Amino acid sequence: MNEHNTLTIENCIEWLDDRIDRWSQYVDKQCSVRIFQAIRSRLEENQIMRKLLWANHGCPQSAMYGDDGEMQCNACGFDFKRGGMKAFAEKRALENLKRYQEYLRKGDAGE
């Protein structure tokens, strides 16, 4: 856990690194190592995708806060390190619908 009292991907990787040897005592070592490596690989990919999304999600670069490994945006208020991607996608979909609604409203007004 961190100062935000949330579980991050880094926390999960640390947890997995710490426990892989203990797992091997109880299950087939090759199997547990392969599972561990697959989970770890997906977590690392998730981190990469979060960083790419943080850096390219459409808000001004001046709003990005990335000190100390953080990935936050002061414009939209989303925390890309801890926030759920499902919530982010839903929020963005709603924003896009509002923009489209505004576009249609202006179109009706003849602007």
Nearer to Zn ion, 14 or 95 (CB): 95
CB of 107 to Zn ion, least distance (A): 27
CB of 63 to Zn ion, least distance (A): 6
Nearer to Zn ion, 35 or 76 (CB): 76
Please give the full DSSP string across the chain, using - where no structure is assigned: --TT----HHHHHHHHHHHHHHHHHHS-HHHHHHHHHHHHHHHHHHHHHHHHHHHTSSS-GGGEE-GGG--EETTT--BTTTS-HHHHHHHHHHHHHHHHHHHHHHHHTT-
Nearer to Zn ion, 40 or 51 (CB): 51
